[in-house]
């Protein structure tokens, strides 16, 4: 394995006050690929256990049908669709950090964007499972795909559900391609310091990258173009997800604010998940010098910004329900706050609308423990938000007088949800141990080059 | 008789003779590029662990043609999105509430997603093909594993009888190591 990192002499430059050298960056990041210790294996073991619980529940569901998951009139979209929206939302901050902040030339993104991108790819992979679980007869999944079948029947392109399929499919493909593209120079860097079987693995996966001027000449602009394509894609995907609801006429769904509200919420939860993942990773892999408090503070600022938008959206939802005056809309929001699921409604309000106000304080933003705790509450809150919007508003449709007892999620719901967390964390943990989870080439861009900045000729 | 392996022919082109210099400093690398260009060299390769504008400016290479791949892929994707949504609507027309069968506003979503999908995928194809062609042109040239870590490198293709002058030029630019390859 690579030799332990050596720290360079202090750089004599005015720009970023750092003791890092190119060599230190390469060796520290290559060092994350070794043996990460017991904590890592304990986490991986828990993830696999959760996944096993999810698989067992899913097998029961396949045998006995969706009634096992508490599906009953009128709640036919419930925990599975909640999990779908939650995981798609988690995926959003990845492309925000890797593509949008790349276009804005934010230097700090270099240290955290790989984690965010990996999170994106695995979160979309997790999200994609839920529509399949939700359709009940998983063996007919290919009916979703527009292909010429024997009945000459095509999907309905006016339905937001088919838009969603195109949006999620494109998002998964483009974010995977973007992740792999960013990885190639970094895999080449770890290939050149690795030994044994890893060297062979990286030699194949680096696709012959050597950092020649011809390679960089095509790579850099192409990276920019894909970032430019991915930027509107991020905003479109969660808008389309929100239209799955907003295009319907259920009270509290049929709102024009849904697209920006969902996009802000997605980035809010995604940035929180990046913090949740980065805090233990930084500790296990000793990345304290590369991922600093400054990076956490900037992530916290993104959470603060999007949290304020979410808070505004909540206020506007209640206000418009009252101000516009339709009885079903007013009743739906009364149900959200004071109905039998008041606890879910208030968890969502407290975690998403009140908690981010703490981040106005610089003391909180620079306290990593506080950020870690807040990030977990944000994720609980954002899951609850989707649960409230999807399941609770269906259960509480006030114009259906036969609805008496509403809806209750069952053990199958919770088991499969836990399984999705296991699935996501298993892939994430396997990735960070085997591929560079921090960009080697891009972190170096933020350092003063050896020999100083050359005069531009 | 030995048969040619087409994969070897593509991915392992024949070796090119020349001189390889290892630089520890960015400014020295930029200076070496300037002097090589002034001396009329065009067949040289610069290695760097990261993309730096100084190197791009010193090399003054033409703009990468990958952007045309992105543009053409994006336009093709948009056209395919338009075609599938309109064709599939008219192939099995379902009239709902007197609304248009081929309605453009909801199909914009499909067109947009297909634009992004095809644009991104053709960009990747564009990079792969352009880099592969450049590598074929260079031949198999000398490399040092430090070039992805903290060293910059310059490889100058030169026949053995001309290698001496190239070596002298690179040494004059404060190269840490110069060797024939």
> Residues A282-339: pLDDT tens digits?
888 888 888 889 999 999 999 999 999 999 999 999 999 999 888 888 888 988 898 8
Whether residue A5 is contained in a domain is answered as no
Residue A417 maps to a domain: yes
CB-closest option in B59, B109, B117 to A213: B59
Within a domain: A342: yes
Give a yes or no: residue A180 inside a domain.
yes
Task: Decide if A158 and B53 are in contact by the 8 Å CB cutoff.
Answer: no
Return the axis-axis angle of helices B160-172 and B26-38, rounded to nearest 10°. Answer: 130
In a domain, A381, yes or no: yes
Cα angle: A430, vertex B146, B35; to 5 degrees: 140
Taking the Cβ of residue A240 and every Cβ of chain B, the question of whether any pair is shorter than 8 Å is answered with yes
Q: What percent of chain A has pLDDT over 70?
A: 93
Q: Is A445's Cβ below 8 Å from some Cβ in B?
A: yes
Confidence of residue A449 (pLDDT cuts 50, 70, 90): confident
Alpha-helical (H) ranges within A360-410 are: 362-365, 368-387, 393-395
The rounded distance, in Å, linking the Cα atoms of A455 and B27 is 7
Contacts of B106 in chain A (CB under 8 A): 157-158, 163
Q: Is the pLDDT of residue B79 over 60?
A: yes
Q: CA A438 to CA B181: how far, in whole Å?
A: 34
- pLDDT of residue A98 exceeding 70, the answer is yes
Residue in B27, B74, B103 nearest the CB of A454: B27
Please determine, for residue A9, whether its predicted confidence score (pLDDT) is greater than 60. Answer: no
pLDDT (mean) for B65-79: 95
Task: Specify whether the CB–CB gap between A412 and A71 falls below 8 A.
Answer: no
Dist CA A367 CA A172 (whole Å): 34
- Average pLDDT on A444-457 reads 68
A114: in domain: yes
A24 to chain B, closest Cα gap in Å: 9
Instruction: Tell me the pTM.
Output: 0.90
Whole-number Å distance between alpha carbons of A377 and A268? 12
| Range of the structural domain that residue A273 is part of | 28-142+171-445
Q: Taking the CB of residue A437, how many other CB atoms lie within 10 A of it? A: 25
Question: Does A276 have pLDDT greater than 90?
Answer: yes
> Is pLDDT of A18 > 60?
no
How far apart, in Å, are the Cα atoms of A443 and each of A20, A230, A424? 10, 21, 26
For chain B, the C-alpha Rg in angstroms (whole number) is 25
B63 Cβ under 8 Å from any chain A Cβ: yes
Give the chain B residue nearest A27 (alpha carbons).
Answer: B149
Greatest alpha-carbon span in chain A: 79
Q: Could you give all domains of chain B from N- to C-terminal order, each with its CATH number?
A: 16-64+140-180 (3.30.70), 66-128 (no CATH)
A455 pLDDT above the threshold of 60: no
Distance from CA of B131 to the nearest CA of A (A): 6
Q: Residue A30 in contact with residue A2, Cβ under 8 Å?
A: yes
Give me the residues paired with residue B46 across strands. Answer: B154
The residue among B47, B28, B10, B43 whose CA lies nearest residue A185 is B47
Q: What is the DSSP pairing of strand B177-180 with strand B152-157? A: unpaired
Is pLDDT above 70 for A274? yes
**Interface predicted TM-score (ipTM):** 0.90
Q: Which residue of A has its CA nearest to B59?
A: A213
Q: Smallest Cα–Cα separation from B107: which of A201, A155, A58, A361?
A: A155
Q: Are B26 and A449 in contact (CB under 8 A)?
A: yes
pLDDT in tens, A193-214: 888 888 899 988 988 899 898 8
* Pairing of the two strands B152-157 and B44-47: antiparallel
Looking at chain B, the whole-number percentage of residues with pLDDT higher than 70 is: 96
Residue in the structure block whose two tokens are 């603060």: A304
Per-residue pLDDT averaged across A225-246, rounded?
Answer: 92
Q: What is the mean pLDDT of residues A12-16?
A: 41
Determine the Cα–Cα distance for residues A272 and A244; give it in Å rounded to an integer.
24
Number of domains in chain A: 1
* pLDDT for the residue numbered A99: 87
Band the pLDDT of A405: cuts 50, 70, 90: low
A162 within domain boundaries: no
Q: Give domain status of residue A410, yes or no.
A: yes
Q: DSSP per residue over B63-102, as a string?
A: PPTHHHHHHHHHHHHHHHHHHHHHHHHHHS----TT--SS
Report the alpha-carbon distance of residue B123 to residue B112 in Å, rounded: 16
In this structure, are residues B20 and B138 in contact, taking their beta carbons and an 8 Å threshold? Answer: no
Look at A86-95, A444-453, B91-100 and tell me which has the smallest mean pLDDT: A444-453
pLDDT value for A173? 95
pLDDT band of A149, cuts 50, 70, 90 = confident
Please tell me the distance from the alpha carbon of residue A387 to that of residue A85, in angstroms, as a whole number. Answer: 9
A158-176: burial string, b at 16+ Cβ within 10 Å, e else: bebebbbbbbbbbbbebbe
- Give the residues across from A299 on adjacent strands: none
Q: Are A153 and B50 an interchain contact pair (Cβ–Cβ within 8 Å)? A: no
For A402, residues 6+ apart whose C-beta sits below 8 A from its C-beta are none
**Distance of residue A349 Cα from the nearest chain B Cα, in angstroms:** 32
Q: Which of A156-160, A359-363, A446-450, B151-155 has the lowest mean pLDDT?
A: A446-450
pLDDT score at A11: 40
Instruction: Check CB contact under 8 Å for A214 and B45.
Output: yes
């Amino acid at each position: 394995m690579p030799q332990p990192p050596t720290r360079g002499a202090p750089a004599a430059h005015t720009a970023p006050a750092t003791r890092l050298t190119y060599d230190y960056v390469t060796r520290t990041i290559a060092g994350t690929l070794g043996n990460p210790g017991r904590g890592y294996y304990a986490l991986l073991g828990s993830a696999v256990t959760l996944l096993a619980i999810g698989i067992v529940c899913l097998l029961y569901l396949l045998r006995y049908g969706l009634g096992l998951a508490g599906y009953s009139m009128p709640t036919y979209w419930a925990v599975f669709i909640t999990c779908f929206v939650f995981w798609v939302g988690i995926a959003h901050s990845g492309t925000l950090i890797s593509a949008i902040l790349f276009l804005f030339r934010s230097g700090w993104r270099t240290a955290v964007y790989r984690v965010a991108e990996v999170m994106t790819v695995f979160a979309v992979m997790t999200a994609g499972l839920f529509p399949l679980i939700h359709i009940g007869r998983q063996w007919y999944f290919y009916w979703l795909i527009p292909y010429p079948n024997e009945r000459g029947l095509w999907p309905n392109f006016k339905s937001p559900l088919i838009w969603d399929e195109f949006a999620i499919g494109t998002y998964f493909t483009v974010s995977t391609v973007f992740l792999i593209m960013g990885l190639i120079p970094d895999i080449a860097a770890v290939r050149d310091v690795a030994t044994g079987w890893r060297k062979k693995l990286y030699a194949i996966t680096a696709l012959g990258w050597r950092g020649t001027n011809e390679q960089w000449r095509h790579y850099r602009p192409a990276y920019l173009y894909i970032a430019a394509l991915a930027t509107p894609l991020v905003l479109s995907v969660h808008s389309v997800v929100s239209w799955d609801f907003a295009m319907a006429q259920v009270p509290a769904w049929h709102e024009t604010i849904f697209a920006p509200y969902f996009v802000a919420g997605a980035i809010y939860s995604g940035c929180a998940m990046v913090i949740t993942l980065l805090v233990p990773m930084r500790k296990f892999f000793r990345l304290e010098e590369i991922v600093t408090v400054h990076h956490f503070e900037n992530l916290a600022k993104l959470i603060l910004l999007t949290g304020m938008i979410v808070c505004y959206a909540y206020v506007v939802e209640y206000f418009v329900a009252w101000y516009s005056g339709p009885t079903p809309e007013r009743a739906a929001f009364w149900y959200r706050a004071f109905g039998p699921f008041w606890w879910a409604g208030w968890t969502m309000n407290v975690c998403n609308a009140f908690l981010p106000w703490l981040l106005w304080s610089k003391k909180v933003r620079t306290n990593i423990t506080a950020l870690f705790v807040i990030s977990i509450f944000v994720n609980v809150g954002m899951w609850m938000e989707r649960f409230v919007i999807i399941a609770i508003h269906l259960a509480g449709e006030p114009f259906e007088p036969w609805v008496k007892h509403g809806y209750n999620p069952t053990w199958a719901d919770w088991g499969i949800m836990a399984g999705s967390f296991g699935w996501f964390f298993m892939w994430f943990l396997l990735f960070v141990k085997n591929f560079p989870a921090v960009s080697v080439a891009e972190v170096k861009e933020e350092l003063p080059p050896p020999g100083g900045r050359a005069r531009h000729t | 008789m030995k048969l040619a392996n087409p994969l070897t022919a593509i991915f392992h082109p024949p070796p090119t003779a020349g001189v390889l210099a290892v630089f520890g400093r960015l400014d020295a690398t930029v200076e070496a590029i300037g002097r090589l260009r002034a001396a009329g060299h065009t067949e040289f390769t610069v290695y760097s662990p990261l993309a730096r504008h100084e190197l791009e400016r010193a090399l003054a290479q033409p703009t990468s043609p990958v952007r045309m791949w992105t543009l053409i892929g994006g336009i093709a994707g948009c056209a395919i999105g338009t075609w599938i949504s309109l064709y599939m609507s008219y192939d099995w027309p379902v009239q709902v509430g007197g609304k248009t069968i081929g309605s453009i506003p909801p199909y914009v979503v499909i067109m947009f997603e297909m634009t992004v999908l095809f644009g991104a995928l053709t960009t990747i194809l564009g990079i792969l093909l352009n880099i592969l062609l450049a590598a074929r042109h260079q031949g198999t040239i000398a490399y040092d594993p430090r070039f992805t870590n903290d060293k910059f490198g310059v490889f100058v293709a030169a026949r053995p009888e001309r290698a001496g002058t190239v070596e002298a030029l690179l040494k004059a630019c404060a190269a840490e190591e110069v060797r024939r390859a």
